[in-house]
Chain A
């Protein structure tokens, strides 16, 4: 077997992925060997350390533009940028997960397998510290996401998709409070996610049937040159897109989002809303820009309709929500629509604006969920909006911070939300997609209403006895919230630095 050689791998370029996988494996070992008392500190420390280390290595790779592992991975501008984004957002999410001051033992259940409502369950619910497996599991998810945005062939992409999805399914089921809701959410997410993966895989098979290869470069070449009937290719792309659109929660593949966002432990929801979105859009961008850019005339109208529907549906359904987490879920659906507008703008401007929006939205949404974890009563988080009435009087600081976050979501200037919207809309008009911008504007108007309603609730209503108290945040949550809000303000007031960075990174290798 002389002719079988191991592929040459640029280990420096893939180091962030390896670090995260390594940390995840170490975490599993730590779970077995570290005494229970020290486990939380060790696990959290390890996770934070690995994430920071990954981030540092990513920064050193900023100018790398290569494909490696026989073309299975592309470490180029967008990959490095998005990996950095994922790691930065994951760092903040980890801080939220590590918070144990808000609730005795943290937001996670100690033993998920104990029957809900049983005697043992009541015992464990009160004091026992939560699972520490969440950290290695999260590390696997982050590693999968890093792989996902760098995958240069569809099979690697599929594997990465599974690597980061499975931990997420698991994490969703681990809420300490309202466990049935949490487990139902996880099951729903798992079932629908599996379907989506199956669609993705089927799409890969069809594309392989047409091209005879799975790497994006070959697909690009085949799409451009082949004179065969491209039906197979189109069908493959459609099925592939379903898998990806499911992950970004675009209409009509969005139905899981509100339930899962509501049911999952809030730190996990924050992690999904920020990091999963980045990863999924990273992959979508790569597939469309690298593999299928020759077909953009054919898929743009279809995806455009999906983008419009996503924006409008997300906005309209957000109006009717009475639970803050569901409201944020629908808002995240609408934001997926705005991101799609950036994707469809195509070209360097579209790519850069989408990446900017991902960063801006990621930090803002982390801040939003950090606030959600703080507003609580004896039964845990007070999710129902009516309970937020008069919060501005009780805790002006938290209400003020949340108002700022909501203004950012609404796209008011001096927040990152405004700059992000301006960037994607500008790119779309430049790319000749004015109709998407019009739909974006109309949906923004609708979407302003639910945000404003929360602001009205907090400031303009009088507090009642039902108004929950705001817990004094621990160090971790304070840090997470501060980072989220500071980034929202910074990117709104002085976006130049990041804009230049995204523009400089907006080039794929093939």
Chain B
């Protein structure tokens, strides 16, 4: 095992970058952009090194570092990752440079400081890395809450119309969840005998009642963050007005903190309560799939539509987690990654279209494919990936979730399958109404629509498309890393696996 402190360096590096960028002169925005891009690529390189240092199939939590912080409380800067956290860190490291490139001109006309926009993106990256790298509940909570601050300013300062409302709603919803989690964290600390160490907390015994209450405190925070039905209403508002870059990070990564938190904290620390509340979570997940998909069909705003598809997908992830089979669990984690790639791509492409048209209303488009054929093609591809077309990465994960759920809970799996049909409906309809058909006469008037995808935008979408296709056919690099972690998590909740060997078969 390497002695290099990968995780702490990885957490701090973007923050240092943010400070550097924030103090770059406001009059030279290009400098800030290039520095930010270079910095995030540096973080990516470091993450690749981390990936190499990680031993797939080794210990559950690896690359552990611990520094004392508040000894009186037993709170430490403890970092360590399992396979699930590792793939999420990789997803962050890959998405952030792409998002920075996609957001290249986003802050230019906001009338606000451009360097600060990019500094906020880097600060957000730092908190996102921290939240996945923490192996100390207190540290996790700190990152979980602090994460709100840069996102709040990204939405509130650089978003579209209604941004104040959306930013405040986002902040308050997250804060509500966070404060209930705070109460649960305090409770866990008292019950656990004044420790925040993740490994120690998984060992403690507590009474059933206590366990269920504490579980609910954590679960509520994560369900809001994810978001699960019925705690989802902030996401369409936030996603609808967020600048495309921040929005892609919001639905691509930030939301995964919720499902990650359930996997890492709820299940191993409160196994009994997890089993007790699993039926409820499954039902909420299924309702989320159907309900959000139906609402997505009815949206007339592109960004809101993508936000609703995201809620539906989180229903799938929720079902996959609470089905308690390794297969479904692996599918869920895989989905977390693939959703980040596919929905991230969809959000960015939609952002490109919206930037050209100056409006996110579907009715303002129509036949855009005639004017920007390549961009339309990318939108179509992103849509197909989003509806989990075989050959794209989300298909593998959705398939695993449904198969894994079917073996233990047929009704849930069958209803969830309906979500696929609806997904086809909203995606195809969206594509049809925006890029296909006869061109909207008003569209021809818009200057921006005469320019098809630029080189910069090609560089933005190309890696995402490549990864979606790659993992659609060959998900093994990810499944190898996440499988042991998922298996261990499922053992924690005492899940009985009907056919644990089926995963590798299906994955291949």
A500: interface (CB < 8 Å): yes
Nearest residue, chain A, Cβ from B141: A413
B179: interface (CB < 8 Å): yes
Smallest beta-carbon distance A249→chain B, Å: 23
State whether B179 touches A444 (Cβ < 8 A).
yes
Per the bound structure, the CA–CA distance linking A418 and B185 in Å amounts to: 13
Nearest residue, chain B, Cβ from A352: B72
State whether B171 touches A452 (Cβ < 8 A).
yes
B371: interface (CB < 8 Å): no
State whether A456 touches B167 (Cβ < 8 A).
yes
B95-103, B148-156, B232-240, B410-418: which one contacts chain A?
B148-156
User: Which residues of chain A are near B156, meaning CB under 8 Å?
Assistant: 456, 459-460
State whether A412 touches B70 (Cβ < 8 A).
no
Q: Which residues, 173 to 198 on B, are CB-close (under 8 Å) to A?
A: 175-176, 179-180, 182-183, 186-187, 189-190
A437: interface (CB < 8 Å): yes
User: B190: which of A407, A410, A430, A499 is its contact (CB, 8 Å)?
Assistant: A430
A190-198, A421-429, A479-487: which one contacts chain B?
A421-429
User: Which residues of chain B are near A449, meaning CB under 8 Å?
Assistant: 172
Q: Which residues, 429 to 455 on A, are CB-close (under 8 Å) to B?
A: 429-430, 434, 437-438, 441, 444-445, 448-449, 452-453
Per the bound structure, the CA–CA distance linking A430 and B145 in Å amounts to: 24
State whether B70 touches A441 (Cβ < 8 A).
no
Smallest beta-carbon distance A9→chain B, Å: 35
State whether A412 touches B145 (Cβ < 8 A).
yes
Nearest residue, chain B, Cβ from A432: B190
A495: interface (CB < 8 Å): yes
State whether A426 touches B182 (Cβ < 8 A).
no
Per the bound structure, the CA–CA distance linking A410 and B175 in Å amounts to: 9
State whether A496 touches B164 (Cβ < 8 A).
no
Nearest residue, chain B, Cβ from A407: B149
B503: interface (CB < 8 Å): no
State whether A460 touches B179 (Cβ < 8 A).
no
Interface string of A125-164 (1 = CB under 8 A from B): 0000000000000000000000000000000000000000
Please classify the interface of chain A as helix (H, G, I), strand (E, B), loop, or mixed, using the class held by over half of its residues. helix
State whether A456 touches B149 (Cβ < 8 A).
no
User: Which residues of chain A are near B69, meaning CB under 8 Å?
Assistant: 494, 496
Given contacts A441-B180, A445-B175, contact A495 B149 (CB under 8 A): no
Nearest residue, chain A, Cβ from B70: A496
Q: Which residues, 47 to 82 on B, are CB-close (under 8 Å) to A?
A: 69-73
State whether B70 touches A425 (Cβ < 8 A).
no
Per the bound structure, the CA–CA distance linking A42 and B153 in Å amounts to: 47
A503: interface (CB < 8 Å): yes
Per the bound structure, the CA–CA distance linking A410 and B178 in Å amounts to: 12
Per the bound structure, the CA–CA distance linking A448 and B172 in Å amounts to: 7
Interface string of A491-508 (1 = CB under 8 A from B): 000111001100100000
Per the bound structure, the CA–CA distance linking A437 and B156 in Å amounts to: 31
A414: interface (CB < 8 Å): yes
State whether A459 touches B157 (Cβ < 8 A).
yes
Smallest beta-carbon distance A506→chain B, Å: 12
B168: interface (CB < 8 Å): yes
State whether A422 touches B182 (Cβ < 8 A).
yes
State whether A499 touches B172 (Cβ < 8 A).
no
User: Which residues of chain A are near B186, meaning CB under 8 Å?
Assistant: 422, 425-426, 429, 437
B146: interface (CB < 8 Å): yes
B256: interface (CB < 8 Å): no
Nearest residue, chain A, Cβ from B68: A496
B90: interface (CB < 8 Å): no
Per the bound structure, the CA–CA distance linking A430 and B186 in Å amounts to: 9
Interface string of B430-473 (1 = CB under 8 A from A): 00000000000000000000000000000000000000000000
Per the bound structure, the CA–CA distance linking A323 and B180 in Å amounts to: 30
State whether A425 touches B172 (Cβ < 8 A).
no
Per the bound structure, the CA–CA distance linking A360 and B508 in Å amounts to: 57
State whether A448 touches B175 (Cβ < 8 A).
yes
Per the bound structure, the CA–CA distance linking A425 and B184 in Å amounts to: 10
B142: interface (CB < 8 Å): yes
State whether A495 touches B70 (Cβ < 8 A).
yes
Per the bound structure, the CA–CA distance linking A499 and B71 in Å amounts to: 10
Per the bound structure, the CA–CA distance linking A472 and B504 in Å amounts to: 67
Per the bound structure, the CA–CA distance linking A429 and B184 in Å amounts to: 10
State whether B145 touches A496 (Cβ < 8 A).
no
User: Which residues of chain A are near B72, meaning CB under 8 Å?
Assistant: 496, 499-500, 503
User: Which residues of chain B are near A407, meaning CB under 8 Å?
Assistant: 149
A interface residues (Cβ-Cβ under 8 A, vs B) = 407, 410-414, 418, 421-422, 425-426, 429-430, 434, 437-438, 441, 444-445, 448-449, 452-453, 456, 459-461, 494-496, 499-500, 503
B interface residues (Cβ-Cβ under 8 A, vs A) = 69-73, 141-142, 145-146, 148-149, 153, 156-157, 163-164, 167-168, 171-172, 175-176, 179-180, 182-183, 186-187, 189-190
* Closest A-B pairs by Cβ, 8 of them: A413-B142, A460-B156, A441-B179, A460-B164, A499-B72, A426-B186, A425-B186, A413-B145
A to B CB contacts below 8 Å, 14 in the list: A412-B145, A412-B146, A426-B73, A426-B190, A430-B190, A444-B179, A456-B156, A456-B168, A460-B157, A460-B163, A461-B164, A496-B69, A496-B72, A499-B72
